[in-house]
Amino acid sequence: MIYLDHNATAPLDDRVLEAMLPFLKTFYGNPSSLYRLGRAAKSAIDAAREQLAALIGTQPGQIIFTSGGTEANNLALAMLPLQAGLAVSAIEHPSIIEPARHLQSQGHQLTLLDVDANGQITQDAIDEVIRLKPGLVSMMLANNETGAVQNVAHYAGQLTAQDIKVHTDAVQALGKIPVDFNRLGVDLMSLSSHKIYGPKGCGALVFNKSVTINPILWGGGQEQGLRAGTENVAAIVGFGKAAELAKAEFAERHAHLLKLRTLLEHGLSAISGLTIFAEQAERLPNTVQMGVCGIDGEMLLMQLDQKGIAVSSGSACASGFREPSPVLVAMGVDPDQAKTAIRISLGIANTEAEIFEFIKQLKSLIEKG
Ligand code: PLP
């Protein structure tokens, strides 16, 4: 199997698994318990919080562990004060778009920020938001489909100067480009463990102490009373270890991914009728979303699967009816062309040989039509 879908999820790093195992069996105490077994679990969570804080340049106390990026995004939007408006970019992940729509149904005014043909939020959209003065703006740091990186630090500066709170979904950016919470200048940031070779079902919301978080789960007061529920200790330990490795190996991983992406794009450039979406944008070093004129992306995905290659398509299946990717549509891509999209997202274990094999198989499938 040649796995080229790391933006969907990345395989668990063996070193992460090793760090997690004792907390699934030996150190099974509840971190809220006062005896030794409980304290061991609590210390392990504290250590993981420090490992993650070191990766993103925050204090450990600014991190709330959650069940993943989806929960972190929902928790971030829940800070919205009553009556306040909300603005989110048109290319956000469903875990932002859907809670935003829910808030809209509850009476909050919702504004979608336009993006340009390269999938990047425009200054005009920011100017309009400043005029509207919503309670919160959410804009992702890197898009999961195109890999386009947003100029979050630049826009956050303009927005926070107007007392508008800013959230960024940095789930796809973490580990792939530098993510420094303070340098971004945002108030809230979402992260997910399984995109950085940690376990699934674990994430974090990072917050600036000036923000009042409104919990979405109430109970035993865990995570500073902001996210109740007995902590998923092993997963948090795994997330911490994955963060430590992402920091230690950042330069090496980045160089490897960029080398593979360059090789991939060189191979793709020889295929006629092929478009790389958001090509002119600064993109994640591991992501290429492409389409070949007249070739259905999902069909191509299935044919590649038969050749042992895993990629993803750019369309979402809603009630059996295939919709073109809302991200591409927001970029002004024609809906028929959007249905040609497939996404290749590389990982640290991919090799040059795998890229050559992918290009060979892709060319042969396209020639067969
Ligand atoms: N945000 C983005 C940009 C994502 O790509 C994803 C996952 O695909 C999420 C949020 C959700 O993260 P999780 O799978 O941890 O809930």
Q: Got the DSSP string for 230-267?
A: ---HHHHHHHHHHHHHHHHTHHHHHHHHHHHHHHHHHH
Cα pseudo-dihedral 297, 144, 10, 322, rounded to 10:
-30
- How far apart CA 339 and CA 331 sit, in angstroms, is 14
Domain boundaries, the chain: 2-9+250-368, 14-248
pTM: 0.97
Q: What's the gap in Å between 171 CA and the centre of ligand 1?
A: 6
Ligand 1 pocket mutation pick from 12, 93, 194 by most atoms within 8 angstroms of CB = 93
Question: Which pLDDT tens digits describe the chain residue by residue (369 residues)?
Answer: 999 999 999 999 999 999 999 999 999 999 999 999 999 999 999 999 999 999 999 999 999 999 999 999 999 999 999 899 999 999 999 999 999 999 999 999 999 999 999 999 999 999 999 999 999 999 999 999 999 999 999 999 999 999 999 999 999 999 999 999 999 999 999 999 999 999 999 999 999 989 999 999 999 999 999 999 999 999 999 999 999 999 999 999 999 999 999 999 999 999 999 999 999 999 999 999 999 999 999 999 999 999 999 999 865 554 455 789 999 999 999 999 999 999 999 999 999 999 999 999 999 999 887
CA atoms within 13 A on the CB side of 367: 7
> What pLDDT shows up at residue 368?
83
In a mutational test of the pocket of ligand 1, which residue from 195, 232, 286 has the highest number of ligand atoms less than 8 Å from its CB? 195
As annotated, the active-site residues are: 317
Q: Which residues are CB-neighbours of 351 under 8 A, at least 6 positions away? A: none
What is the structure's pLDDT at 11? 98
What is the position in ligand 1's atom list of the atom closest to the CA of 194?
Answer: 15
- Ligand 1 mutation target, pool 179, 192, 202, 287, most atoms within 8 A of CB: 192
The three-point CA angle 209-97-64 to 5° equals 30
Question: Contact 185/213 with Cβ under 8 angstroms?
Answer: no
Q: How far is the CA of 93 from the centre of ligand 1 (A)?
A: 7
For residue 240, CA distances in Å to 53, 123, 189, 243, 291 come to: 9, 36, 17, 5, 37
**What pLDDT, on a 0 to 100 scale, did the predictor assign at position 269?**
96
Domain 2-9+250-368 falls under CATH 3.40.50.10680: no
pLDDT score recorded for residue 28 = 97
Q: How far is the CA of 299 from the centre of ligand 1 (A)?
A: 24
pLDDT of residue 314: 67
What pLDDT shows up at residue 70? 98
Q: Which residues lie closer than 8 Å to 22 by C-beta, 6 or more apart?
A: none
Nearest partner of 348 among 240, 266, 258, 264, judged by Cα: 258
Nearest residue by C-alpha to atom 9 in ligand 1: 69
What are the pocket residues of ligand 1 if the criterion is a CB atom closer than 6 Å to any ligand atom?
A: 68-70, 73, 93, 95, 140, 144, 169, 171-172, 192, 194, 203
Contacts with 149 (C-beta within 8 Å, 6 or more apart), sequence order: 141, 142, 173, 177, 281, 282, 283, 284
Ligand 1 centroid to 279 CA: how many Å? Answer: 22
**CATH for the stretch 14-248:** 3.40.640.10
Ligand 1: which atom is nearest the Cα of residue 95?
A: 10
* Residue 315, pLDDT score: 58
In the DSSP assignment, the letter for residue 318 is: E
- Of 240, 214, 216, 236, the closest CA to residue 228 belongs to 216
Among 159, 165, 102, CA closest to 126: 159
Closest of 198, 195, 78, 182 to residue 138, by C-alpha: 78
**Ligand 1 centroid – CA 327 distance (Å):** 15
Return the closest-CA partner of residue 311 out of 256, 254, 268: 268
User: What pLDDT score does 141 carry?
Assistant: 98
